[in-house]
Structure 1
Amino acid sequence: MLKIFKNFKGKEWIIFTISIIFVVSQVWLDLKLPDYMSEITQLVQTPGSEMSEILTSGGWMLLCALGSLIASIIVAALAATIAANLSARLRFKMFDKVQSFSMEEINNFSTASLITRSTNDITQIQTFIVMGLQALVKAPILAVWAILKIVGRNWQLSLTVAAAVIVLMIIVAICIVLALPKFTILQQLTDNLNRVSRENLSGISVTRAYNAEKYQEDKFEVANNDLIKVNLFTNRVMAMLMPTITFIMSGVSLAIYWVGAILIQNAALPDKMGLFSDVIVFSSYAIQVIMAFMMLVMVFILMPRATVAAKRINEVLDTKATIKNGTITQSPIGVLGEVEFKNVSFKYPDADDYVIKNISFKANRGETIAFIGATGAGKSTLINLIPRFYDTTEGEVLVDGVNVKEYDQKYLRNKLGYVSQKVTLFEGTIESNVAFGENGKAEITKNDVVYGVYAAQASEFVEKLEGEYEAHISEGGTNLSGGQKQRISIARAIARYPEILIFDDSFSALDYKTDSKLRKFLKKESIGTTMLIVAQRISSIKDADKIIVLEDGQMVGIGKHDDLMKTCNVYREIAYSQLSKEELAVDKEVACSEVTKEEVV
């Protein structure tokens, strides 16, 4: 928990110091009230006292109460300011840290857990700070000051207050010991509920298609009930505290009056007045002491959960990235768009088997290298090593003759145009999605966006949308079809004018006609750009300079289409399963109009 407070900035410490000053002022004003009560009591019992003296003391009591109210309002406002600023800073740090994570770290935490840590856990910290600055700081000062006020006045009455405090502390300790382990479980169950809810919402179309609503409801009910059970246990334990405190507060007042009555009855006549005044003062101060402990209990109710939340936040912030950033920000002179794999093998963290084994090949500038193989052959894993989503287990991946581990990650990725297997679009417009990110050289202009859209064969639907390039795209691109989303994603990569274009099975949602048009455009307009293409359809890659055939993570063939048809059984089997109908679709295609960059711009 203390590590969280290291995120305080100078401004927060100044506000914190000011709030402590107001807390001390508030405590002083609260503890001044019993003194005036004692004074009024003595004035009432003293013959010859005037009403004006009683009213004066009463007026000072009212001023103290008003001053205490103002001080408490100021402390609450300052606490809210500190908590809001700290939580905002923690959210930014969490977001920034997750941005630096490789896929390994993200998978270690899970998306649902990272969302819960960035929202629910930080809210727990914020709530604790708001209450803590008002109660955690005030309570010890109030308790110690009140105890010092009554110590030495009367040992019998002091012992009564001490007994009440000891009983209260024992009860609080028991409740904390019972509840604390459950708060860790509570946050984990919140993660699980978040995961189930997120999974259901993202897969709702599949759920409905298979009439699996009852299955999902049962799954949610199990996760929800688990959370309810732990919540009920912790809340019931903590709920015992407030009635206990109220009982002890009432009991200690009764005990003070009972003990005081006995002492007054047995005291000599001259001492009775002093004892009566002490009973009044002790009763008031005892309530202040119990109130201080009640405030501490309120903090203790929040502290266990906030402590668990802080630990979970620190787990993310303290995670060391497995992928270290390099320092090179410039390619060797005369080398551009070159990719080479040297004896590359890779296995996922904590996995026993290698996903890809001993892969070696070289793509020269301007060449098109294609990868094909059965599902699970390691095609996507292979190309994901180039932008360093993962690092190789063995061997080297070189870009422009330099190991990718030595590049500054930002510089390396600015050299690439990457189209992922799973299309991701962001809420905004067509233009904002195509011009997404940066290319490391200059700002992506409207002309670049238009060129990318035409190159990806997306202009036919984009320019029919209301607003054209300013047309709205909803979160995840849910208002577009699969093929339209894929073409926007391809346009985003092309608009960067990268040295290396990576297509990870990015033509799967395109019809054969659009696929053919796109390949012809790329072949003519992307001269000098190295292209790495993962594909399932041979028609998309048969004109590639090199086709690499993968099976069980191993390279079983490399060469042109015609050569592989003669020498590679795996490739030949894939070709025979799909080539005949595709050749009909492609060979009979009427030559489409070839749009150049100059014509588009």
Structure 2
Amino acid sequence: MAAAPGAPGTKAMTFGPSVKRLLARLKPQRAMISIVLILASASVVLTVLAPKILGDATNLIFDGIVGRQLPLGISKDEAVQNLRDAGQGTFADLVSGMNLTPGLGVDFDAVGRVLMIVLALYLASALLGWLQGYLLNVALQKTIKKLRTDVESKIHRLPLSYFDSHKRGDVLSRVTNDIDNVSQSLQQTLSQLVTSVLTVLGILAMMLYISPLLALVAVLTVPVSIVVTAQIAKRSQPHFIAQWKQTGSLNAQVEEAYTGHELVKAYGRQEETERVFHDSNEELYQASYRAQFISGIVMPAIMFLGNINYVIIAVVGGLRVASGTLSLGEVQAFIQYSRQFTQPLTQIGSMVNLLQSGVASAERIFEILDADQEEPDPIPAATPDSRSGRVEFENVSFRYEAERPLIEDLSFVAEPGQMVAIVGPTGAGKTTLVNLIMRFYDIDSGRITVDGVDTRRMTRDDLRERTGMVLQDTWLFGGTIRENIAYGDPTAPEDKIMEAAQVSYVDRFVHSLPLGYDTVIDGEGGNVSAGEKQLITIARAFLANPSILILDEATSSVDTRTELLVQKATAALRSDRTSFVIAHRLSTIRDADLILVMENGSIVEQGTHEQLIDARGAYYRLSASGLKAASDSMSR
């Protein structure tokens, strides 16, 4: 098994490849993205044309004002010559570069037509911009929906070892917070990024058309801006990665403290819990502060460069107008273009922190998607001919870690209808044994058969559909008691649900509840007792009608009376079913058909209770010292 993603020694992904991989997920929406690019290009073209046309209005007004100051009835060339003869050479140069008629004022009709054209261009550009933003949002949301689906699907294919090595709160943070952050980052940056890049290209083309010299001045700030942005991004990205890593750690700590809040209070560990939270919160604050502070320098730096550029263009442009090389309207348009040229660069700079934050979250999501998953089910898969529930271990060896042996060369047979009890000290491998039966872990060597078929040749669904499992830690979801029981078989009719409830003695207490089977259980099962929760989980397992029943210390958290009910319910199901019981109470296993005593991953004794007591071996020693004290309900 490869090292778990995120473990020490795992190489972090770089920014560039992560961005490419994130954008590659947009490929299924490439048709819509193509339409978005066309609409965005059209919107930008209209926006870029508007200042040039608006400059024509400025020229009409300025030409009219200057024209009225010249004598009526002469040509422009004559007016220019007269000005030179009068010693007004600078004014003559200005007039020579203008399109005017001496003696005529401002043509307000022409000015009005130009303004109407500009208004139409801006309206059309806004409409196209809204439409491309709408379509891009649809494409992005479909992409994020697919990403959520892929992550959810991958989680169901991950082995149990992945969840054993990752905190639940951190995994939940990746599935919720990180995906939401990626969605918000893409939604806020991608549309603006596309528009900004197209705007820069369009404006650059117009500036070159108006004045290559001024365009060169404007472009000089671009490489400086790129270098500044790249250097700042390089320094802030590690802090964004740390920010979301700390977010996951903090969520894990909060989830752990909330789940065990009763124990925290019972042992008076509130101060320690608050201190751990404070430390985690402080680390998150520091990472977030550094990330936002460093990336926040980008926008002011680019704005500063843009302002310097604006001043230079205004001075050079004024000199060009005075010399008659450019018209006032062209300089006005160019100044607008220069401001619009730096604005997209400023926007790109402001998007750097959002993009870095989103990519940092994407890396955490990709770690889940790249994690080693369970081996696929065999094709074609084998299916046992019967459902008798015969289980056989043949020379099975297994270890969680390569250097630490656990189960070595284990062999035994559980016949149909037998109740097999598994006992032993902490770390003996009791829970591991049933995990191997369920194929939560794959064995290293040997084989496990169910009804004569190797479990590795069966599909996991087929294997687990034959198995019912009741754990020490009960799990009930937010829903009615009826729905929680029906979880074992969603297709079961009402009479089967009631039968399972009666066999498991749920029916005895459910009628004392105000709404009976329609009583809604909260997420933690807080409105029913621990014993009642366990009976509901047993009813759920009964409804599944398994051929193999696993009770992993199912009675450890219930009272003596409820334990008797559980034992009676188990006895009712024992016919034609193989039952594996991990327990620490002698009363639970005394009547077992077969007791397996495990030490260090091996079966050191097996037999009935009487046989093992008479043998005065390991089982006898466990009984004498108190099986409950010697066993650990949370052991493997």
* 8 A Cα contact 2:394 2:448, kept in partner: yes
Matches within 5 A, 1:60-459: 60-151=117-208, 153-265=210-322, 267=323, 271=324, 274-327=326-379, 331-333=383-385, 336-348=388-400, 350=401, 352-438=403-489, 443-459=491-507
AA aligned to 2:395 is: N
Secondary structure of 2:411's aligned partner: strand
Give a deviation string over 1:6-30, Cα, whole Å, max 9, x none.
44475x3333222222211211121
1:19 aligns with 2:19: no
* 8 A Cα contact 2:388 2:577, kept in partner: no
Secondary structure of 1:385's aligned partner: helix
**Mapped partners of 2:539, 2:446: distance in 1:** 33
- CA 1:363–1:128 in structure 2 vs 1: closer, same or farther (change >3 Å)? same
AA aligned to 2:355 is: M
**Mapped partners of 2:247, 2:240: distance in 1:** 10
**Mapped partners of 2:349, 2:601: distance in 1:** 59
Aligned match of 1:586: none
Alpha-carbon distance, 1:100 to partner: 1.8
**Mapped partners of 1:310, 1:153: distance in 2:** 43
**Mapped partners of 1:155, 1:517: distance in 2:** 91
Aligned pair partner of 1:535 in 566, 573, 583: 583
Secondary structure of 2:431's aligned partner: helix
Aligned match of 1:36: 53
**Mapped partners of 1:104, 1:539: distance in 2:** 33
- CA 1:560–1:328 in structure 2 vs 1: closer, same or farther (change >3 Å)? farther
Q: Report which stretch shifted further, 328-337 or 416-425.
A: 328-337
* 8 A Cα contact 1:369 1:548, kept in partner: yes
- Scaled by the length of structure 2, the TM-score of the pair is 0.85
- CA 1:371–1:411 in structure 2 vs 1: closer, same or farther (change >3 Å)? same
Alpha-carbon distance, 1:258 to partner: 1.1
* 8 A Cα contact 2:485 2:539, kept in partner: yes
AA aligned to 2:550 is: I
Alpha-carbon distance, 1:335 to partner: 6.6
Alpha-carbon distance, 1:475 to partner: 0.5
Aligned match of 2:542: 494
Aligned pair partner of 1:2 in 20, 26, 33: 20
Alpha-carbon distance, 1:334 to partner: 5.3
- CA 1:53–1:13 in structure 2 vs 1: closer, same or farther (change >3 Å)? same
- Scaled by the length of structure 1, the TM-score of the pair is 0.90
AA aligned to 1:2 is: K
* 8 A Cα contact 2:488 2:544, kept in partner: no
- CA 1:578–1:108 in structure 2 vs 1: closer, same or farther (change >3 Å)? closer
* 8 A Cα contact 1:335 1:401, kept in partner: no
Aligned match of 1:558: 606
**Mapped partners of 2:551, 2:160: distance in 1:** 19
AA aligned to 1:426 is: F
- CA 1:294–1:538 in structure 2 vs 1: closer, same or farther (change >3 Å)? same
Aligned pair partner of 1:504 in 552, 563, 580: 552
**Mapped partners of 2:396, 2:578: distance in 1:** 20
**Mapped partners of 2:228, 2:184: distance in 1:** 24
**Mapped partners of 2:368, 2:503: distance in 1:** 41
Alpha-carbon distance, 1:471 to partner: 1.2
**Mapped partners of 2:499, 2:574: distance in 1:** 12
Secondary structure of 2:437's aligned partner: coil
- CA 1:159–1:514 in structure 2 vs 1: closer, same or farther (change >3 Å)? closer
Secondary structure of 2:408's aligned partner: strand
Aligned match of 1:585: none
**Mapped partners of 1:6, 1:262: distance in 2:** 49
Q: Report which stretch shifted further, 216-225 or 230-239.
A: 230-239
**Mapped partners of 2:349, 2:551: distance in 1:** 59
The unaligned stretches of length 5 or more in structure 1 are: 581-601
Secondary structure of 2:199's aligned partner: helix
Aligned match of 2:84: none
Alpha-carbon distance, 1:246 to partner: 3.0
Aligned pair partner of 1:479 in 518, 521, 527: 527
* 8 A Cα contact 1:556 1:568, kept in partner: no
Alpha-carbon distance, 1:182 to partner: 1.7
Alpha-carbon distance, 1:160 to partner: 1.8
Give a deviation string over 1:405-442, Cα, whole Å, max 9, x none.
11111111111111123211111111111111438xxx
AA aligned to 2:574 is: S
* 8 A Cα contact 2:59 2:328, kept in partner: no
* 8 A Cα contact 1:331 1:402, kept in partner: yes
- CA 1:79–1:423 in structure 2 vs 1: closer, same or farther (change >3 Å)? same
* 8 A Cα contact 1:98 1:106, kept in partner: no
Give a deviation string over 1:521-570, Cα, whole Å, max 9, x none.
43355311111111111111111111001123221110011110011422
**Mapped partners of 1:566, 1:328: distance in 2:** 49
Identity value in percent: 27
Aligned match of 1:514: 562
**Mapped partners of 2:393, 2:528: distance in 1:** 37
AA aligned to 1:422 is: D
AA aligned to 1:169 is: I
Alpha-carbon distance, 1:291 to partner: 1.6
**Mapped partners of 2:224, 2:432: distance in 1:** 63
Secondary structure of 2:217's aligned partner: helix
Alpha-carbon distance, 1:290 to partner: 0.9
Secondary structure of 2:373's aligned partner: coil
Alpha-carbon distance, 1:275 to partner: 4.5
**Mapped partners of 1:404, 1:328: distance in 2:** 13
* 8 A Cα contact 2:416 2:578, kept in partner: yes
**Mapped partners of 1:504, 1:185: distance in 2:** 39
Secondary structure of 1:208's aligned partner: helix
- CA 1:335–1:277 in structure 2 vs 1: closer, same or farther (change >3 Å)? closer
RMSD between aligned alpha carbons?
Answer: 2.2
Give a deviation string over 1:274-328, Cα, whole Å, max 9, x none.
3434322221111121122123223322222222222222222233314432346
**Mapped partners of 2:335, 2:627: distance in 1:** 95
Give a deviation string over 1:239-267, Cα, whole Å, max 9, x none.
222223333333322221112233444x2
- CA 1:579–1:512 in structure 2 vs 1: closer, same or farther (change >3 Å)? farther
* 8 A Cα contact 2:472 2:555, kept in partner: no
**Mapped partners of 2:263, 2:569: distance in 1:** 36
Secondary structure of 1:371's aligned partner: strand
Alpha-carbon distance, 1:351 to partner: 5.3
1:569 aligns with 2:620: no
Alpha-carbon distance, 1:209 to partner: 1.4
**Mapped partners of 2:121, 2:546: distance in 1:** 72
